[in-house]
Amino acid sequence: MKIRLLVVVILLSSVTPAIAQYIFTSIDDPTAQATSIRGINSHGEIVGAYRKGPLRHALLIKDGQFVPIDPTSILGTNFSEAYTSNERGDVVGQYVGDDGYFHGFLLRKDVLTTLDFPGASDTYAFGINESGTVVGYWDILDSSGNTLIIHGYTWKNGNFTQVDFPGSGDTAVLGINARGDFVGQWDTGITATGAHGFVFTQGRYINFDVPFPGATVTQANAINSQGAIVGLYIDASGAIRGFLAEGAKFTAIDYPGAASTRPWGVNSSGQIVGNHFDTANSHVRGFIAQPGNIGKP
């Protein structure tokens, strides 16, 4: 699947790109070589990963402290990354197992649960809401490690349900909110040159593409309780950039001076987190974008 953007647009009226009114702050673990940021909950707790040496490991940032997540488990010995935490502090993400495949995980009250979709080669966990519903995607690889197909899923209380955008070749579910609305990306097949965002809400799927001039791929990464969506798109120059969709209003999200900006999470206060790259070849750095109205009456 190509990287695409999603838009929670209720669709098709005139859509005007807006300029972001945000205060951006870079997030870097001072003891790490690289910091990747993926999600933020309404308490301001941020999750992602840090790299000290060859591997990334899952990370929690709370009260200004950078805390490895479950460092004595496989999350601390193997490659791992956290993607979302809900209001209860449950964390989901993925790790590479000793078998060389990706496995989703749920960490709840210090209990680590591995999530493997039945029959999958890899399973990835990207989002969790307050009711404990996890979303993500799984794939099937051939004997050479090539991806054959990708399907989305939801998981709750040990039960998986496959999710496919109607008529799609591949589907990835990347975020879910408290109402159970979820977002992601779909395409017509593994060899497709483009991809589209989607939102599932009130029992129906809505397709969308970011409306910025020259944009190609669209990917929706997260949706908050108000229905605001953040994600990624590829612009006319081939650079990966960020967006915020609020109904039919699309806002570009670009870390100042960065070569690439990749929003991954948005909470109920409208705080956006993600990653940025100073240059095309620089290491990944995290960021938080604060709406200009936070702290104002």
Mean pLDDT of 250-266: 96
pLDDT greater than 50 at residue 4? no
* pTM of the predicted protein model: 0.91
pLDDT greater than 60 at residue 179? yes
What pLDDT was estimated at residue 61? 98
Q: How far is CA 196 from the centre of its chain?
A: 15
What pLDDT was estimated at residue 58? 98
CA distance linking residue 140 with residue 151, whole number of Å: 9
User: Nearest-CA neighbor of 84 among 122, 114, 46, 117?
Assistant: 46
Structure tokens at 27: 């997030």
Give the pLDDT band (50/70/90) at residue 5. Answer: very low
What pLDDT was estimated at residue 2? 45
Q: pLDDT, tens digit, for every residue of 63-100?
A: 999 999 999 999 999 999 999 999 999 999 999 999 99
**What phi and psi values does residue 95 have, to the nearest 5 degrees?**
-140, 160
What pLDDT was estimated at residue 288? 98
CA distance linking residue 60 with residue 47, whole number of Å: 5
Angle ∠(218,177,277) on CA atoms, nearest 5: 45
What pLDDT was estimated at residue 1? 56
Structure tokens at 130: 């307050």
Structure tokens at 271: 């705080």
Mean pLDDT of all residues in the chain?
Answer: 91
pLDDT greater than 60 at residue 3? no
User: Nearest-CA neighbor of 71 among 56, 87, 86, 92?
Assistant: 56
Do 229 and 35 form a contact (C-beta atoms < 8 A)? no
Instruction: Express as a percent the part of the chain with pLDDT over 90.
Output: 86
What pLDDT was estimated at residue 267? 97
**Of 234 and 295, the one with more pLDDT:** 234
pLDDT greater than 50 at residue 6? no
User: Nearest-CA neighbor of 185 among 194, 193, 200, 195?
Assistant: 195
What pLDDT was estimated at residue 293? 58
What pLDDT was estimated at residue 20? 54
Do 69 and 82 form a contact (C-beta atoms < 8 A)? yes
What pLDDT was estimated at residue 15? 40
CA distance linking residue 48 with residue 59, whole number of Å: 5
What pLDDT was estimated at residue 280? 83
Q: pLDDT, tens digit, for every residue of 208-246?
A: 999 999 898 999 999 999 999 999 999 999 999 999 999
Q: pLDDT, tens digit, for every residue of 16-64?
A: 444 458 999 999 999 999 999 999 999 999 999 999 999 999 999 999 9
Query: 167 CB contacts (<8 Å, ≥6 apart)?
Result: none
CATH for the stretch 17-291: 2.120.10.30
